[in-house]
Structure 1
């Protein structure tokens, strides 16, 4: 029997503790879109973060979700959703709402529905925003007890920044995210500076579409695709240029595609990173499922907020526990 679903859509603003700064700019709040699906007995939620880098806006994403209301009311299911919307934030919110609804309706966890073993706690990276070297050093010193720090770079003077962070946090494992901020002229020098600082991975050093130089140099440390990696069909072209891929549900268009991307990345011999946007625990919860198989986990979004939603993920330092059914899944 066709299941006819009700839909609600909301735009929410969540203040960031201080500010969050990458090579493309700063923000002081996270704007998210939440989709909720109901079948008359149970309700499921999904949260997404529209990504301006890909031309998304909160209004546009909310409108794209709202436009599917007639088809949801007529019986559109999670399988049909994959063709109804392209990869991106709108499909992510609805896809995750479908998973949550099914979990609530059946009394089975989303992990069980996905065929996964029981979820385990994870160790997540914690992000250090880009700034002057002395500012970044102070931020790193405050978080030096964490086992894994993600350092935002992508501007002139990055060798001084990463050296300052390393001095401030000598015991932490460091990864770097340049957010497409480097160019070919400085690529090898910046990678060398990262290697000297003991960095283990660099995300997206060059702009998407202008990253061919990565195939022509000897990469001293692993390089991970982020903005160059979208859904499954983007992964094959990454081989030879990248060593790893960052799977984010907002890019992939939901948990369904993210699980498939993770499997395809492994098939291609790419290491797996699971990342996030700055958002609440509701965005992170589905990503915890994908992150069970990841080499690097970066799900610190709620730690960067001034407050989180009720029944949040439990963070103990850098350890994050699986979500409770009250939150999602």
Structure 2
């Protein structure tokens, strides 16, 4: 098996702002695994919040190149177990590698990945489309630029209720709110009351990640469901979220890829938590991997590639929230 690493700097259509940063470009690493004429693709993007860079991911993967390339006839679960001890300090690199191996494995079996897992795609959830923080006028303009059935609105400003009030005047779409750790307990409880009146479905990660007692307080008193993001990173975090959140948002890059994400989904369902998978600002490589999990999810946020000025791959396509799969096996990805 051959390991190929490719760096990209993904240009965004618009400056993307959340409560803690703004970006115009998103550095991304594409991992390609080749074997017997087949290729599998995976992706992980840099992220300053998690102190992850493309150069560090490349260094970590190069250190175990010989181990990766020596693998023969392993299942994705077995492959993940072999790689985890060497990459547990770099879950982003592990994600790209695991994603690529799952894709390669399914292609070699002549199956789409969701078919290999025996998932029924008949009732997939729609994806939301994200509106980053900007002036109210620009946020309205972004929404009008792409009419959509569900919008995820980034908040964490002094004008949060005013923003949603104005956006509501221009659409009947479902709203989801992501405060990216930008609120206090009192703000969350009070804002939830007003936001529910404005057609908001749930709140995502309103408080800082490690404020577990405060999360419990919000969980008890919020009139809207609360979904964990920064508080639910790896498999061990799922159980902690019970009694603190109503659901979890799994990010593949944070948890280490598709293999652990599937286990997290199973555990969350057993614990009565809603399941969601979210994206970073990724190309269609990462988005097509997320799409394989759709049948197991209550919600999904997989609009990353729609935010790009230019994509680097083909794979799944999205139209008014609905995901259509590629005709190709695996995750269906081809680099452009």
Query: What is the SS of the residue equivalent to 1:33?
Result: strand
Give the aligned partner of residue 22 of structure 1. 18
> Following the alignment from structure 2 to structure 1, what is the Cα–Cα distance between the partners of residues 215 and 279?
24
TM-score (norm: length of structure 1): 0.92
Give the aligned partner of residue 151 of structure 2. 149
Matched, 1:176 2:177: yes
TM-score (norm: length of structure 2): 0.90
> Following the alignment from structure 1 to structure 2, what is the Cα–Cα distance between the partners of residues 42 and 281?
19
Which shows bigger deviation, 18-27 or 69-78? Answer: 69-78
> Following the alignment from structure 1 to structure 2, what is the Cα–Cα distance between the partners of residues 158 and 222?
18
Q: CA deviation at 1:113?
A: 2.5
Distance verdict in 2 for CA 1:119–1:78, change over 3 Å:
farther
Of 143, 163, 166, the match for 1:161: 163
Matched, 1:234 2:237: yes
Distance verdict in 2 for CA 1:78–1:325, change over 3 Å:
farther
Q: CA deviation at 1:312?
A: 3.4
Query: What is the number of equivalent residue pairs in this alignment?
Result: 323
Q: CA deviation at 1:51?
A: 2.4
Contact 2:285 2:313 in 1 (8 A): no
Which aligned runs of 4 or more in structure 1 are off by greater than 6 angstroms?
none
Give the aligned partner of residue 32 of structure 1. 28
Give the aligned partner of residue 49 of structure 2. 53
Contact 2:121 2:295 in 1 (8 A): no
> Following the alignment from structure 2 to structure 1, what is the Cα–Cα distance between the partners of residues 206 and 121?
35
Distance verdict in 2 for CA 1:84–1:324, change over 3 Å:
farther
Give the aligned partner of residue 194 of structure 1. 195
Mapping 1:133-144, distance limit 5 Å:
133-143=136-146
Q: Gaps spanning 5+ residues in structure 1: where?
A: none
Q: CA deviation at 1:211?
A: 4.3
Distance verdict in 2 for CA 1:231–1:310, change over 3 Å:
closer
Give the aligned partner of residue 208 of structure 2. 207
* Structure 1 vs Structure 2 CA RMSD: 1.9
Give the aligned partner of residue 105 of structure 2. 102
Contact 1:13 1:30 in 2 (8 A): yes
> Following the alignment from structure 1 to structure 2, what is the Cα–Cα distance between the partners of residues 322 and 272?
21
Matched, 1:82 2:123: no
Q: CA deviation at 1:291?
A: 2.1
Q: Gaps spanning 5+ residues in structure 2: where?
A: 73-78
